[in-house]
Amino acid sequence: GAGVSQSPSNKVTEKGKDVELRCDPISGHTALYWYRQSLGQGLEFLIYFQGNSAPDKSGLPSDRFSAERTGGSVSTLTIQRTQQEDSAVYLCASSFKSSGETQYFGPGTRLLVL
């Protein structure tokens, strides 16, 4: 079946602009995660959604970052007033449920802030 998909695959923007990144999880997966991967680094947790529960936003680096998940499926990560240090690969993952379930990753969105 289809895996996790993300769009766009690449995004170049100017400093100060807002960007929206989209994630389509695997159908039927109730848990959705956003991670950020800087060049040569491991993945850094950003935010987690589980069903209709309030999201765990503990990993968001600043209030310029926000995310929504509509209808328990598609999620959008928004970065307002982008800064150069926001440049990274933003990865989305989903799992059937949360605890103990394997997370499957999308291909990521490569964001470059000029």
Partner 1 sequence: GQQLNQSPQSMFIQEGEDVSMNCTSSSIFNTWLWYKQEPGEGPVLLIALYKAGELTSNGRLTAQFGITRKDSFLNISASIPSDVGIYFCAGQLRGSARQLTFGSGTQLTVLP
**CA torsion 56→66→8→4, rounded to 10°?**
10
Identify which range of 38-46, 61-69, 70-78, 79-87 contacts partner 1 by CB under 8 A.
38-46
**Residue 41, helix vs strand vs coil:** coil
Out of 67, 82, 108, 111, point to the residue binding partner 1 (CB under 8 A): 108
User: E strand or H helix at 2, and its extent?
Assistant: none
Q: Return the DSSP state at 101.
A: P
Cα gap 60→96, rounded to integer Å: 23
Structure tokens at 87: 């440049």
**How far, in Å, CA of 17 to CA of 72, rounded?**
28
Site membership for partner 1, residue 45 (CB under 8 A): yes
Q: Which stretch binds partner 1 (CB under 8 A): 11-19, 36-44, 62-70, 80-88?
A: 36-44
Q: Which is nearer to partner 1, 79 or 108 (CB)?
A: 108
Among 24, 106, 111, 113, binds partner 1 (CB under 8 A): 106
Nearer to partner 1, 41 or 78 (CB): 41
Q: Is 105 in the site for partner 1 (CB under 8 A)?
A: yes
Q: Say how many residues touch partner 1, by CB under 8 A.
A: 26
68 φ, ψ (degrees, to nearest 5): -130, 155
Q: Does 96 bind partner 1 (CB under 8 A)?
A: no
